[in-house]
Amino acid sequence: DAGVIQSPRHEVTEMGQEVTLRCKPISGHDYLFWYRQTMMRGLELLIYFNNNVPIDDSGMPEDRFSAKMPNASFSTLKIQPSEPRDSAVYFCASSLATGAVETQYFGPGTRLLVL
């Protein structure tokens, strides 16, 4: 398997622009997670899906952030409008199921810089 795929790997945009990050989970995985990593706050869970349904979005920082999972093989994280403080590395991860030691497998991350 190719692992979790994220695109783009790097994104530079100007404040106020819309940013869309994309993720393809490992085939067959039931869960998909979006994390954000910053120097100040470390790794934070933003939202996760189970079978394409959002389960917990309590980590989403504000209404400017939204995430969708239209099917089992694709998810997006959108920021509109973007702000400089959104600059971070955004990771997508997937796993098979919960209730056991089901490891989350991470994608390579998208480094976002908002100018």
How far is Cα 30 from Cα 33, in angstroms, rounded to an integer?
10
Taking CB under 8 A as the rule, which mask of x and - marks residues 75-114 in contact with another protein? --------------x-x-x-x--xx-x-xxxx-xx-x---
Enumerate residues 6+ apart whose C-beta is below 8 A from 61.
Answer: 46
Give the whole-angstrom CA distance, residue 21 versus residue 112.
9
Whichever of 31 and 65 has its CB closer to another protein, that residue is 31
Encoding tokens for residue 18? Answer: 């819309």
Report 11-40 residues binding another protein (CB under 8 A): 31, 33
Under the rule (CB under 8 A), what is the footprint of another protein?
A: 31, 33, 42-43, 45, 48, 55-56, 89, 91, 93, 95, 98-99, 101, 103-106, 108-109, 111
